Structure 1
Amino acid sequence: MALTLLAANNAQTVLAAGISASATSLTVNSGTGSLFPAPSAGVSFFKLTLIDAATGQLTEIMHVTARTGDTMTIDREQEGTTARAWSANDIAANMMTAGTLSYLLANFQPLDPTLTAIAALVGAANKLPYFNGVDTAALTDLTAVGRDIIGKATTADVVSYLGVGTGRLLGAPKVILSTGIYTPTAGTNAVLVHALGGGGGGGGCAANPVSQASGGQGGGAGAFGAGWYTSGFSGVTVTVGNAGAAGTAGGVSGVNDGGNGGTTSFGSLLSVSGGLGGKPGASLPLVAIGQSTTTNTATITGANLFSYAGDDGACAILAKTASPGSISGRGASSTYGKGAGAVSLQSDGLAASGRGAGGSGGISYASAAAQAGGAGTAGIVIIWEYA
């Protein structure tokens, strides 16, 4: 900390007695010491210049570090001057020097209200200065937690330090409708993934003689899984499960079934199977009866948040009455798609809409041709990226 430089106007006197070149104190004429500042040792000082009375050509600049009455403690040879012996009645004056100007420039701020506001604050441990108005400042607490957060280099570091698990959402989610490589947005540190398998196709149905009818089962919906991943997701292959094909016209099991929906996967982190294709409808007498059905099954891995198997496709219902009293099996709806509705007139099944939903089965009446089922829809992957 710099010592405070003191000064007094028109402070000049003469030495009461001579001093040697090694003296560390001097005395001025009686009663004239009060013309000069009174510095405190280790805190303040003032400049004193001695000038010989005989010629006015010899000088020595000293620092006065203490004064008691007319006696001054001195620090010799300042600003390049040389210590020498001085005589009684030589002049002693508090004068402006080059060192005085340099000291002022080095130790005092320019007249600026902003800096003055800051300089007025008294710093203390765990305090931080801030402006609370125009050129006014105050101190606020700066806790250890605050210091730690300020010292973090990235948003991810702050999130990790706070232990909240997630950062900010990086824009709109990425909707992936076809197989490809996933490249995260720059700054992504975690992802929330929804995956849906492809929907199954509806089953076909057989041709019918008199007094018989047939109807195919609807396709099942794809399985669904949701997962949260903080590593291993960059550059993974995203596979979108294909749509289950429509069952071909006919009622032979294993031949005219709707196609199974394909498996959807997000690398090795998450995988969900597609919905099963609907069973074909054989030709049966017109009695109140439901055609055979297949229970939808699912294989799901890596869904660490939530998952469920897709719904079953509905079976066909054959009525005792003639056309159009029967209906085909309806396709199952999924999280992101609508299953195809049942058909009641002689017709192929309908295709599903959206993603991961099942197609409906075909329907055929007495003395009518075989009908095909309707196709399911492909799966989907949706990715939310977090910093």
Structure 2
Amino acid sequence: MANLPETPQWEEGIYQIEVSDPVLGGPDGISNRQGKQLASRTLYLKQQVEKGGSELAKHIAAADPHTQYAPKASPTFTGTPTAPTPANSDNSKKLATTEFVAKALAALAGSAPETLDTLKELADALGNDPNFATTVLNKLAEKLAKDQHGADIPDPALFVKNLGLGDGSYVGRLIGSPKVFKSSGTYTPTKGTKYAIAEVQGAGGGGGNATGNTTTSAFGTSGGAGAYALSFFAITSGTASIVVGAGGVPSGNGGTSSFSGFNNTIIAAGGNGGTNNIGSGGMTSNVHARGSDGGTASGGTIINGKGGAGGASFILSGTPSSGIGGDSHFSGGAFGAGAQGGAGRNAILGAGGSGATVFMANTTYNGGSGGDGIVIIWEYA
């Protein structure tokens, strides 16, 4: 007995044996048609399953069995893949979408101008200097300190020259008003002072006294002025001692003024006091006398000036007249006393006082006092 022949194919339908069908055996007999169709289906299915098994193993073993999909490891996407956009503050391992990157870049640029909103533009603006911060700090260290007010300029003379204010060999700007000493004291330089000019004026001498009687006229000669010195010097550390001379009392010498400090000793002596009681008798007598000398100075680097001498005094035909006191650098001498007799007049600022006069009277008049000295300091940066 033989087996039905099987063909591995899918049969679309299974034949239904009809009542009228005769019983007919053999490979193509109607009685075997259903079995043959079912056997063919079974063989077909068996081959498909076997084929599927080997294909599945091959599929599993393949490195990229689904070429239409990207692999999990190092995928390469095509087309226009999308993904959820993480929050701006997200720093996890989620995918960064173009939207996320755009927002991050916009936040980074902020409100920067268009010419400075890229790293390239920022690098160009910084001169492509990888050590920009150090470079800036080094440049700032070269700047002058604001609280030094120019005192930290390495070469002041060259600085003045570069400003077109000269060749740099002279003193710079005046600092404020001069410091005036009308009494003795201590000079302390103003901060920033580099050089100074000192004016030292000695005191004036007092005019002479005059005593007469009913038959004699008399006069006192006028006092001389104090000396004047002018000095220019550099300011170093420390202070200077200032002495201001007092004006001479009637017939007395004026006091000496001085400046001592910063390698300078400047002395301006006071003027000499006038002579007392030069007179003559009677209405026709004549007498003449010169005024006293002014003081002398030393130590000034620019000027050492002698004080002016007092003017001449005289009696002409018994009528007295005293001379004007000696002129100082700062003031003219005091005017003389009148012809009818009187006290001498006081002077100011180192000038000499005038002498007194008496016109045939039994009385005494005092000469005028000399002017006090003065010291003036001009400060320069």
TM range (shorter): 0.5 to 0.7
Report how far residue 376 of structure 1 moved: 0.7
Partner of 1:306: 303
> Does 2:329 correspond to 1:356?
no
Preserved contact between residue 272 and residue 300 of structure 1 (Cα < 8 Å): yes
- When Rg is computed on C-alpha atoms for both structures, the one with the higher figure is 2
Report how far residue 341 of structure 1 moved: 0.5
Counterpart Cα distance in 1 of 2:200 and 2:115 = 58
Report how far residue 315 of structure 1 moved: 2.5
Q: 5+ residue gaps in structure 1?
A: 1-51, 62-94, 125-146, 247-257
Partner of 2:13: none
> Does 2:324 correspond to 1:330?
yes
Which of 351, 355, 368 is 2:362 aligned to? Answer: 368
Report how far residue 168 of structure 1 moved: 2.8
Partner of 1:263: 256
Preserved contact between residue 109 and residue 115 of structure 1 (Cα < 8 Å): no
Counterpart Cα distance in 1 of 2:115 and 2:288 = 87
TM-score (norm 2): 0.59
> Does 2:342 correspond to 1:347?
yes
Counterpart Cα distance in 1 of 2:239 and 2:179 = 14
> Does 2:285 correspond to 1:287?
yes
Partner of 2:172: 167
Report how far residue 235 of structure 1 moved: 2.1
Counterpart Cα distance in 2 of 1:102 and 1:121 = 22
1:185-224 to structure 2, matched below 5 A, reads 185-208=190-213, 210=215, 212-224=216-228
Q: CA RMSD in A?
A: 3.9
Cα pair distance change 1:58/1:363, threshold 3 Å: same
Partner of 1:235: 239
Preserved contact between residue 216 and residue 362 of structure 1 (Cα < 8 Å): yes
SS of match in other structure, 1:280: coil
Counterpart Cα distance in 2 of 1:171 and 1:372 = 42
1:99-178 to structure 2, matched below 5 A, reads 111-112=112-113, 151-153=143-145, 154=148, 155-158=150-153, 159-162=156-159, 163-178=168-183
Report how far residue 223 of structure 1 moved: 1.0
Report how far residue 152 of structure 1 moved: 4.7
Cα pair distance change 1:110/1:221, threshold 3 Å: same
> Does 2:271 correspond to 1:278?
no
Counterpart Cα distance in 2 of 1:60 and 1:222 = 108
Preserved contact between residue 222 and residue 356 of structure 1 (Cα < 8 Å): yes
Preserved contact between residue 193 and residue 384 of structure 1 (Cα < 8 Å): yes
Percent pairwise identity: 30
SS of match in other structure, 2:211: coil
Q: Provide Cα deviations, 1:289-322, integer angstroms capped at 9, x if missing partner.
A: 3125433241321x122331110011211111x4
Report how far residue 284 of structure 1 moved: 2.0
Report how far residue 216 of structure 1 moved: 1.1
Residue identity matched to 1:337: S
Preserved contact between residue 215 and residue 291 of structure 1 (Cα < 8 Å): no
Counterpart Cα distance in 2 of 1:237 and 1:60 = 93
Which of 226, 229, 233 is 1:225 aligned to? Answer: 229
Counterpart Cα distance in 2 of 1:194 and 1:261 = 17
Report how far residue 59 of structure 1 moved: 3.1
Report how far residue 110 of structure 1 moved: 6.1
More helix by share: 2
Partner of 1:74: none
More strand by share: 1
Counterpart Cα distance in 2 of 1:305 and 1:156 = 27
Counterpart Cα distance in 2 of 1:304 and 1:60 = 95
Preserved contact between residue 202 and residue 295 of structure 2 (Cα < 8 Å): no
Q: 5+ residue gaps in structure 2?
A: 1-66, 77-96, 128-138, 160-167
Preserved contact between residue 226 and residue 271 of structure 2 (Cα < 8 Å): yes
> Does 2:375 correspond to 1:378?
no
Cα pair distance change 1:293/1:221, threshold 3 Å: closer
Counterpart Cα distance in 2 of 1:300 and 1:317 = 33
Residue identity matched to 2:326: A
TM-score (norm 1): 0.58
